[in-house]
Chain A
Amino acid sequence: METSELIERLAAGVVPVRRLISPWRRALLWLAMSVPYVAAVVWLHAEAPHITTVFGDMRFVVELTAALATAGAAAVAAFYSVVPGLDRRVLYLPLVPLAIWLVLIGDGCVRDWLQLGVKGLELRTDWHCLPPAIVIGILPAIGMVVMLRRGAPVQPRASVAIGALAVAALGNSGLSLFHVGDASIMVLVWHFGSVAVLSVLAGWMGRHILNWRGARVIRARTLG
């Protein structure tokens, strides 16, 4: 088909579209939907801590803030990445709170080691955490994928990896509330480790989740 004919056909089928709102607003929208959900799951969980237990531990509050900031910054960066032509430096935004979060956990590990010796770095498995981890992440993950797919897949791997970082960081913020006072090594390996693994795996699958399927369908419809 000639390009001029394709243009005529595309224009013949053009309909008004609702413009995407700014990435910042979309991130706020995603947080407005996800944070109450995560809070509700925490609230309904049998091991939910009392509010005074949570806010009585300053170190925990700072770590929680860093995790939440990572989730927020990653959401902004993910929604930026699906708008063509925007400044790509924003994609590095989540690295700042992520680094702070890692430093805080690392510092906790050192303190535990100094205080308790090798016992402070003992690792155990908490498989009963897996079901709430899945439940807590499912709605934010679906919301993130749906919202990312409304954008353009110009950097699918980065978009999906950063979107997964937002979901995992938010989910971990909620999960950490079940384990106030946990050893830092546990937080480092299971919480931070799972965030890293999930982000890398999601990024690896990025092209399957975000792709130009819409354009291929339009081509088939236009040519058909």
Chain B
Amino acid sequence: MVGTNDTEQRLASLMRFAQDGNAPAYVELLQEVAPLLRRAVRHQRRFLQPQDVEDLVQDVLLSLHAVRATYDPARPFLPWLMAITRNRMVDGVRRYARLAANEVAVEEVPETFSPDGPNIYGEREALRRAVSALPPGQRQAIEMLKLRELSLKEAAAASGMTIAALKVAVHRGMKALRKALRAEA
């Protein structure tokens, strides 16, 4: 019990320093809470794959970072953290269920393409090459809007580009990708 109280007090104190902008204290705090979160996620969501667990842990860390102003140093830290964790776990499982619903488990993948023709791995590699060949603005827009599926508002906030500029960049990027992939085929 004493150990738990000590941990609680240390984490609360590190969080207070982190709120004041102390980077080393923040690293220490996040490094200490990451294993706690991993354990909590594994314990409560046993069906998740290790990669999904790690994604959720990262989601919680990012959420903690986004709302760190809501922590009141006069209150215990762990209930605050666990309330965020529970919320993100619910969202994470919702996302997991959505993805799982779109996946079909099959015993044997039916072969519908010619063994000599381009296959999915080759196409993925070609797409990767085509994306990296895009000018930086178009590449960033494609990555944010098409690969990470951010909304226009979110991508604008993250990149500092205007929504109009993003729309133009993604349109041009898609056009360039189509051209590059057609040339490869």
Q: Does A65 contact B (CB under 8 A)?
A: no
Closest 5 CB pairs of A and B: A84-B83, A220-B158, A16-B21, A85-B79, A85-B80
How far, in whole Å, are A212 and B65 apart by their CA atoms in the complex? 11
CA distance A64 to B55 in the complex (A): 51
Write the B40-75 contact mask toward A (1 if CB under 8 angstroms, else 0).
000000000000001001110111011111111101
Give B contacts to A, CB under 8 Å: 18-24, 26-27, 30-31, 34, 54, 57-59, 61-63, 65-73, 75-76, 79-84, 87-88, 91, 140, 143-144, 148, 150, 153-155, 157-159
Q: Is the CB of A220 within 8 A of B155?
A: yes
Other than the known A213-B153, A216-B154, what 5 A-B pairs have Cβ atoms closer than 8 Å?
A6-B58, A10-B62, A19-B19, A19-B72, A221-B158
Cβ–Cβ contact B21 & A3, under 8 A? no
Contact A214 B67 (CB under 8 A): yes
Q: What distance in Å separates the Cβ of B185 from its nearest Cβ neighbour in chain A?
A: 30
B139 to chain A, nearest CB (A): 10
B26 near A14 (CB under 8 angstroms)? yes
Name B18's contact: one of A8, A14, A151, A223 (CB within 8 Å): A14
CA distance A7 to B65 in the complex (A): 10
Given contacts A7-B61, A14-B26, contact A217 B73 (CB under 8 A): no
Is A3 touching B70 in the complex (CB atoms < 8 A)? no
Cβ-based interface call for A83 (8 A): yes
A143-158: CB near B (< 8 Å → 1, else 0) gives 0000000111111000
A197-224 vs B, Cβ < 8 Å mask (1 yes, 0 no): 0000000000000001111111111111
- Chain A residues near B63 (CB, 8 Å)? 152, 212, 215
Provide the residues of chain B in CB contact with A18, threshold 8 Å.
69
Given that A85-B83, A152-B84 are contacting pairs, would A19 and B34 also be in contact in the complex, using a CB cutoff of 8 Å?
no
Selected contact of A14 from candidates B23, B54, B57, CB within 8 Å: B23
A11 at the B interface (CB under 8 A): yes
Do A216 and B150 touch across chains, with their CB atoms under 8 A apart? yes
In the complex, residue of chain B having the shortest beta-carbon distance to the beta carbon of A156: B87
Within A89-125, the residues touching B (CB, 8 Å) are none
Which A residues touch B18, using CB under 8 A? 14
Please name 22 pairs of A and B residues whose Cβ atoms are closer than 8 Å in the assembled complex, sorted by A. Answer: A1-B58, A4-B31, A6-B62, A7-B31, A11-B24, A11-B26, A12-B23, A15-B21, A17-B19, A17-B69, A19-B19, A20-B70, A22-B72, A85-B80, A151-B67, A152-B63, A212-B66, A212-B91, A216-B62, A217-B154, A218-B62, A220-B159
Q: Which residues of A contact B21 (CB under 8 A)?
A: 14-17
Cα–Cα distance between A86 and B84 once the two chains are bound (Å): 11
Q: B62, A215: Cβ atoms under 8 Å? A: yes
Among the listed B57, B67, B159, which residue makes an inter-chain contact with A152, where contact means beta carbons less than 8 Å apart? B67
Contacting pair B34 A82 (CB below 8 A)? no
Within 8 A of B (CB), among A1-41: 1, 3-4, 6-8, 10-12, 14-20, 22
A82 to chain B, nearest CB (A): 7
Q: Considering the chains assembled together, what is the distance between the CA atoms of A86 and B72 in angstroms?
A: 10
Minimum Cβ distance to chain A for residue B134 (Å): 15
Q: Which of B67, B72, B143 has the most CB of A within 10 A?
A: B67
Residue pair A8, B27 in contact (C-beta under 8 Å): yes
Which residues of the other chain, B, contact A15 by a CB distance below 8 angstroms? 21
Cα-based distance from A14 to B67 in the complex (angstroms): 12
Chain A nearest CB: distance from B50 CB in Å?
Answer: 12
Given A10-B26, A217-B154: A83 touches B70 (CB 8 Å cut-off): yes
Q: Determine if A217 and B158 form an interchain contact, defined as CB atoms under 8 angstroms apart.
A: yes
User: What's the Cα separation between A6 and B62 when bound, in Å?
Assistant: 9
Cβ contacts under 8 Å, B30 to chain A: 7, 10-11
